[in-house]
Amino acid sequence: MDRLRRLFEHFLEQRNFATEALEALEARTGVEKRYLAAGAVTVLSLYLLFGHGASLLCNLIGFVYPAYASIKAIESPSKEDDTVWLTYWVVYALFGLAEFFSDLLLFWFPFYYVGKCAFLLFCMSPGPWNGALLLYQRLVRPLFLKHHAAVDSAVSQLSGQVLDTASGITRDALPNPSPLQKGK
């Protein structure tokens, strides 16, 4: 528990959007930012457990801040932050795909949205605890390296078939010019 408290305190010492908002609230209310943050985390957790629309809140948490951070990364001169957020989106997409197929079962678990939100926060956490980088290095990258040639071949073959089908549909859908129109 002490380790979790230290991580929480370390987060509050960093400079980011959330800590700046907490500092502004602290200046207005006189309540320490650590109590404000703990209160916000408690309210969010309770809402994720019992609130209507917990799915929307969880998806907003997993999407809004990462989208904002991704835009900032694109606009920054450093490419290292681009890699961090691109990795997050790869893991987020794979998680979304897995969730699509397992949602009917997982939805019935009482702490599903709290767990999902905790997972997404783990994936976007900064530094060595970045879950997206850990998952990418240990799961996604090895699978990709093992199967990317076969996937590239299948995609190339499928795109060729799609282009052939589209040109055939276009050719069949356009009327043939009459002999009079050809002569003009």
Sequence spans of domains, the chain: 1-50, 52-164
124, 65 Cβ separation under 8 angstroms: yes
Please give the Cα distance from 173 to 22 (Å, whole number).
Answer: 61
How much of the chain is in helix, strand and coil states, percent to nearest 5? 85, 0, 15
Token couple for 163: 């282009």
Per-residue pLDDT of the chain (184 residues; tens, 9 = 90+): 677 677 777 777 777 777 788 888 889 999 888 888 888 888 887 877 777 778 888 888 899 989 999 999 999 999 988 999 999 999 999 999 998 888 777 767 778 888 888 999 999 988 787 899 999 999 999 999 999 999 999 998 998 888 888 888 887 777 666 556 555 5
pTM of the model: 0.69
In this structure, the dihedral spanned by the alpha carbons of residues 2, 59, 126 and 7, taken in order and rounded to 10 degrees, is: -10
Dump pLDDT digits (tens) for 151-162. Answer: 999 998 998 888
